[in-house]
Amino acid sequence: MADPAQADLKRTPLTDWHLAHGAKMAPFAGFLMPIKYRGELAEHAAVRERAGLFDITHMGEIYAEGPAAEAWLDGLVTNRTAGIPVGKVIYTAMCREDGGTLDDMLIYRLAPERWLIVCNGANHAKIAAWTAKRARGTDGLRLDDASDRVALIAVQGPEAWQLVSRVTALRAHLPAVEALDFYTAVELRLGGSTWVVSRTGYTGERGYEIYVPNDDALALWRELLHVGADLGVEPIGLAARDTLRFELGYCLYGHELGEDISPLEAGIGWAVKLNKPGFVGRDALARQQAGGVPRKLVGVAVDGRAIARQGAGVYAAGRRVGAVTSGTFSPTLQRALALALVETAAAAGPLEVDVRDRRFPLAPTPYPFLAARVKGDPRASRS
Amino acid sequence: MVADDRKYTKSHEWVMVEGSVATVGVTEYAAHELGDVVFLDLPEVGNEVARGEAVGTIETVKAVEDLFTPISGEVVETNQAVVDSPELVNNDPLDAGWLIRVRLSDAGELNQLLSAAEYEELLED
């Protein structure tokens, strides 16, 4: 890249491919990442109607291994991970002592004593340091930060199973991949490589996330595009990834979640198990739960031709009661929607939002704005 | 390759003059960089606008941008079709995706716009 500002950015095994195929690139989580290819709306529709491929190699992957890993990990995250079966995937928050959210993440049990933590790219350094510090002095626990060695490709959309089933390298393992339920994964040894195929995603569609060694990524990406040409598969940038997750009301760290936002406030209290043995942040979160969660994440529709974006002030009876955390035009629903973090007492409304010094009424609109279509037989027809 | 039947600005608008009326839109480059347009807010017909002034907003999936007028004068027409179908800005920015028509109050301003060749040079930099 000629731009010196991009010289310090990390690249994925697919960066050259993105550049060669006309992607608009931008820095994201320290990486030079594809924001869009042919257009946000077209890419969004491709995932809802057919299938899309995402390079999400910026995500962080940290392995925790050893006999102590199970209890150690369960003491660091808000959801219950101890005791889950091999192959299960758990969505959870990781909190500070004060209940502020360090990150949201997936936890995989790949083997009885082998766990995989997948955190946001933007929080990778923080989570690597946090976990390393808390692993110190724990016998029977090894951490291995594999983020620089692992590429991650997401295949999302109603045709995702069709597409994945055509990958040559997976052919010998198809029964295991086909048997995957939503939020389960399988670790596969393919020649000299180890892949993890995970039935997870960030779009609300049927889909898979495939973790591969860097050296396998480009061939897999190309093969998916090639064998999926008749299915209408296409590459999807981070812009459409954002509108896709937004319609499902999935939290995005830095928007709905942050160190000053608890998972209870962000509406992921279902991933906080206050009755499990102690975990970092438990006491603060239990106090918050008992005393009343001060803020609440609400879904709203903007009444007017404007988009309320992150940071836009939300008002009740003229008083500021919160702010928009994410807001965009929903490509599927064709309307301006937003998620806002507001004082719990004011959440029932009526609410208004300030967009460029104009006030617009907000109509309460429960999220998820769109129902997830992630479960059931991967081969079953939608129609 | 940029269309040589009109003039351009450094901020990626185009201006096409017929008689005393100039039609203004955004360039193909701008349309691509903006991303998919979902709402447009255009000035009222009859408004007097001054060169360089923000006269409307272009709301895309990812951001909101001001629409600047590259010329001064009275707004004589706005494109209702793009207000109803904002995707025209992305699909046909040079023709059906035009935005406003302004009756020139100072034809001398046209000399400050870029020629097609100059605009092409700007894009190459």
Q: Where are the domains of chain B?
A: 7-120
Q: Which of A239, A336, A356 sits opposite B35 (nearest CB)?
A: A239
Please report the pLDDT score of residue B53 as a whole number: 94
Q: Which two tokens stand for residue B115?
A: 């020629």
Strand-pair category, B37-41 with B54-60 = antiparallel
- Residue A305: list chain B partners with CB under 8 A: 39, 41, 59
Q: Do A331 and B57 touch (CB under 8 A)?
A: no
Residue with the bigger pLDDT between B106 and B2: it is B106
Query: What is chain A's mean pLDDT, rounded?
Result: 95
Please report the pLDDT score of residue A3 as a whole number: 57
A317, pLDDT greater than 90: yes
Nearest CA distance, B20 vs chain A (angstrom): 32
Please report the pLDDT score of residue A382 as a whole number: 47
Length of chain A: 383
Q: Do A356 and B87 touch (CB under 8 A)?
A: no
Q: What is the mean pLDDT of residues A48-76?
A: 98
**A–B interface: beta-carbon pairs under 8 A:** 40
A170, pLDDT greater than 70: yes
Show the beta-strand stretches assigned E in B5-123: 7-8, 13-18, 21-26, 37-41, 48-49, 54-60, 64-68, 73-78, 100-104
**Helix boundaries (H) for chain A:** 15-20, 40-49, 69-74, 124-135, 160-165, 174-178, 214-227, 238-247, 282-291
> With the C-alpha atoms ordered B62, B67, B70, B76, is the resulting torsion angle positive or negative?
positive
**B10 and A CB contact within 8 Å:** no
Q: What is the pLDDT of residues A318-327, one digit of tens each?
A: 999 999 999 9
Task: Select from A72, A159, A64, A169 the least CA-distant residue to A111.
Answer: A64
Please report the pLDDT score of residue A206 as a whole number: 95
Please report the pLDDT score of residue A1 as a whole number: 43
Percent of chain A with pLDDT over 70: 97
Nearest CA distance, A310 vs chain B (angstrom): 10
Q: What is the mean pLDDT of residues A351-359?
A: 95
A380, pLDDT greater than 70: no
**A34 and B CB contact within 8 Å:** no
Q: Which two tokens stand for residue A10?
A: 């990390």
Q: What is the mean pLDDT of residues B72-91?
A: 96
A64, pLDDT greater than 90: yes
Task: Select from A243, A341, A264, A310 the least CA-distant residue to A93.
Answer: A264
Question: Would you place residue A376 in the very low, low, confident or very high pLDDT band (cuts 50, 70, 90)?
Answer: confident
Q: Which domains does chain A carry?
A: 4-59+148-246 (3.30.1360.120), 60-145 (3.30.70.1400), 295-367 (2.40.30.110)
Please report the pLDDT score of residue A304 as a whole number: 85
- Residue A40: list chain B partners with CB under 8 A: 35-36, 61-62
**A142 and B CB contact within 8 Å:** no
A8, pLDDT greater than 50: yes
* Number of neighbours of residue A216 by Cβ within 10 angstroms: 21
Percent of chain A with pLDDT over 90: 94
Residue with the bigger pLDDT between B26 and A305: it is B26
Please report the pLDDT score of residue A277 as a whole number: 86
Q: What is the pLDDT of residues A92-139, one digit of tens each?
A: 999 999 999 999 999 999 999 999 999 999 999 999 999 999 999 999
**Phi, psi of A87, deg, nearest 5:** 100, -10
Please report the pLDDT score of residue A377 as a whole number: 73
Q: Which two tokens stand for residue A111?
A: 């083997």
Nearest CA distance, B85 vs chain A (angstrom): 12
Question: Would you place residue A383 in the very low, low, confident or very high pLDDT band (cuts 50, 70, 90)?
Answer: very low
Please report the pLDDT score of residue A6 as a whole number: 65
Q: What is the mean pLDDT of residues B17-31?
A: 95
A95 near A27, Cβ under 8 Å? no
Q: What is the mean pLDDT of residues B50-69?
A: 93
Q: Do A39 and B35 touch (CB under 8 A)?
A: yes
C-alpha A369, offset from chain centre:
17
Dist CA A350 CA A67 (whole Å)? 53
What is the second-level CATH architecture of the domain B7-120? Beta Barrel (2.40)
Dist CA A81 CA A79 (whole Å)? 6
**A210 and B CB contact within 8 Å:** no
A169, pLDDT greater than 70: yes
Q: What is the pLDDT of residues A254-280, one digit of tens each?
A: 999 999 999 999 999 999 999 998 999
